[in-house]
Amino acid sequence: MEHQMEYKFSSVVDPSTYETHGLCDGIPLRCHHQPELEEIEAFRCQEDWRRWVGPLGFYKGGLGPRWNFIAITVPECRPDRLAILGYANELAFLHDGEQEMLVIPLGTVTDTGIIIDITDIVPIGDAHNDDLKATFEQLARTGDVQAATSGKRAIQARIAREMLALHKEQATVTMRSWAKFAELGSGRHHDTHFRTEAEYIQNRMFDIGTMYWYGVVTFGMAISIPDEEVEIAHELANVAYLNLGLTNDLYSYQKEHETAMSLGQDFVVNLIWVLMEEHGITEAEAKDLCRAKIKQTILDFRHIVRETNARADLSGETKRYLEGLLYSLSGNLVWSIDCPRYHTWSSYNTQQLDWMKNGIPGEDGKPSGCGYASGQHSSSKHAERTDNLASGVPSPPASDEAPPDVSEDCRSSMKPDHSGLVNIFAAKGIKDLAALNIRGDPSIRLTNGHGQPNGFHPDDQKTDVEPGLDTQIIQAPCDYLHSLPSKNVREKAIEAINIWLQVPPEKLASIKLITQLLHNASLMLDDLEDGSPLRRGHPATHSIFGAGQTVNAANYQILRALQEVQALGGAEDVAIYAGELERLYVGQSLDLHWTSNLICPSIEQYLEMIEYKTGGLFRLFGRLMIAHSTTSIDLDVAALWNSLGRYYQARDDYQNLVSPVYEEQKGYCEDLDEGKYSLPLIHLLQTTAHEPLVRNLLTQRRVHGASNASHKQTLLALMEESGSLAFTADFLAELRGKVEAELAKLEGWTGLRNDPLRGLLRMLVV
**Among 64, 20, 87, 9, CA closest to 324:** 9
pLDDT value at residue 262: 66
pLDDT value at residue 373: 38
**Cα separation of 76 and 331, whole Å?**
12
**Cα separation of 161 and 168, whole Å?**
9
Q: Compute φ and ψ for 129, nearest 5 degrees.
A: -70, -35
pLDDT value at residue 364: 46
Sign of the Cα pseudo-torsion (148, 150, 155, 160, in order): negative
pLDDT value at residue 169: 86
pLDDT value at residue 5: 78
* Mode of pairing for the β-strands spanning 534-535 and 30-32: unpaired
**Cα separation of 618 and 623, whole Å?**
9
CA distances from 132 to 138, 160, 179, 268, 556 (A): 10, 13, 7, 25, 52
CA atoms within 13 A on the CB side of 601: 20
> Please, which contacts does 193-199 make with residues 24 or more away whose CB atoms are closer than 8 Å?
193/267, 193/269, 194/269, 194/274, 195/274, 195/277, 195/278, 196/274, 196/278, 197/271, 197/274, 197/275, 197/278
100, pLDDT greater than 60: no
**Cα separation of 326 and 28, whole Å?**
9
Q: Which of residues 632 and 409 earns the better pLDDT score? A: 632
**pLDDT band for position 2 (cuts 50, 70, 90):** low
**Cα separation of 385 and 362, whole Å?**
24
Q: What residue type is 285 in one-letter code?
A: E
**Among 567, 531, 538, CA closest to 480:** 538
207, pLDDT greater than 70: no
What ranges in 263-395 are assigned the alpha helix state H? 271-279, 283-309, 316-338, 350-358
**Cα separation of 2 and 302, whole Å?**
7
Sign of the Cα pseudo-torsion (65, 70, 76, 80, in order): negative
pLDDT over 70, % of the chain: 70
pLDDT value at residue 653: 80
**Cα separation of 597 and 675, whole Å?**
10
**pLDDT band for position 365 (cuts 50, 70, 90):** very low
Q: What is the rounded average pLDDT of the residues 617-638?
A: 84
Q: Which of residues 58 and 462 earns the better pLDDT score? A: 58
Q: What is the rounded average pLDDT of the residues 654-680?
A: 67
Q: What is the pLDDT of residues 65-83, one digit of tens each?
A: 888 999 999 999 999 999 9
DSSP code, position 483? T
Q: What is the rounded average pLDDT of the residues 48-56?
A: 80
Mean per-residue pLDDT of the chain: 74
**Cα separation of 282 and 702, whole Å?**
63
The most confident of the ranges 365-374, 429-438, 699-708 is 699-708
pLDDT value at residue 434: 33
755, pLDDT greater than 90: no
pLDDT value at residue 291: 94
Q: What is the rounded average pLDDT of the residues 251-280?
A: 85
**Cα separation of 565 and 186, whole Å?**
49
Q: Which of residues 160 and 488 earns the better pLDDT score? A: 160
Q: Tally Cβ neighbours within 10 Å of residue 443.
A: 7
Q: Give the chain's length.
A: 766
pLDDT value at residue 385: 24
**pLDDT band for position 702 (cuts 50, 70, 90):** low
pLDDT value at residue 463: 44
CA 535 to chain centroid? 18
47, pLDDT greater than 60: yes
Residue 469: CB partners within 8 Å, gap ≥ 6?
none
CB 573 within 8 A of CB 627: yes
**Cα separation of 62 and 176, whole Å?**
23
pLDDT value at residue 135: 62
Q: What is the rounded average pLDDT of the residues 463-489?
A: 71
Write the DSSP string, 707-764. --HHHHHHHHHHHHHHTHHHHHHHHHHHHHHHHHHHHHHHHHHHT---HHHHHHHHHT
682, pLDDT greater than 60: yes
* Mode of pairing for the β-strands spanning 534-535 and 538-539: antiparallel
> With 0-12 CB in 10 A as exposed, 13-18 as middle and 19+ as buried, what is 644?
buried
CA atoms within 13 A on the CB side of 492: 21
> With 0-12 CB in 10 A as exposed, 13-18 as middle and 19+ as buried, what is 329?
buried
**pLDDT band for position 378 (cuts 50, 70, 90):** very low
Q: Tally Cβ neighbours within 10 Å of residue 429.
A: 15
CA distances from 378 to 49, 116, 126, 359, 391 (A): 15, 18, 33, 13, 21
**pLDDT band for position 480 (cuts 50, 70, 90):** confident
Q: What is the pLDDT of residues 523-558, one digit of tens each?
A: 899 888 877 777 766 788 888 888 899 999 999 999
Q: What residue type is 533 in one-letter code?
A: P
pLDDT value at residue 142: 63
452, pLDDT greater than 60: no
Q: Determine which of 406-415, 645-654, 684-693 has the lowest per-residue pLDDT on average.
A: 406-415
pLDDT over 90, % of the chain: 22
Residue 105: CB partners within 8 Å, gap ≥ 6?
116
CB 208 within 8 A of CB 184: yes
pLDDT value at residue 101: 43
**Cα separation of 211 and 242, whole Å?**
13
**Among 38, 35, 43, CA closest to 361:** 43
E strand or H helix that includes residue 30: strand 30-32
Residues forming a β-bridge with 538: 535
3-state secondary structure of 242: helix
pLDDT value at residue 701: 58
Q: Which of residues 256 and 382 earns the better pLDDT score? A: 256
The most confident of the ranges 74-83, 264-273, 359-368, 480-489 is 74-83
Q: Which of residues 652 and 204 earns the better pLDDT score? A: 652
3-state secondary structure of 52: helix
CB 425 within 8 A of CB 479: yes
Q: What is the rounded average pLDDT of the residues 495-519?
A: 89
pLDDT value at residue 445: 28
102-125 in b/e form (b: 16+ CB < 10 A) is bebeeebbbbbeeebeeeeeeebe
**Cα separation of 484 and 479, whole Å?**
9
pLDDT value at residue 302: 95
**Among 364, 507, 373, CA closest to 423:** 364
What ranges in 384-531 are assigned the alpha helix state H? 408-413, 421-426, 472-482, 489-501, 505-530
**pLDDT band for position 638 (cuts 50, 70, 90):** confident
Q: What is the rounded average pLDDT of the residues 716-741?
A: 86
Q: What is the rounded average pLDDT of the residues 232-249?
A: 92
Q: What is the rounded average pLDDT of the residues 220-226?
A: 93
Angular region, 344: left φ>0, alpha ψ -120 to 50, beta rest = alpha
674, pLDDT greater than 90: no
Start-to-end CA span in the chain (Å): 27
Q: What is the dihedral of CA 390, 392, 395, 397, to 10 degrees?
A: 90
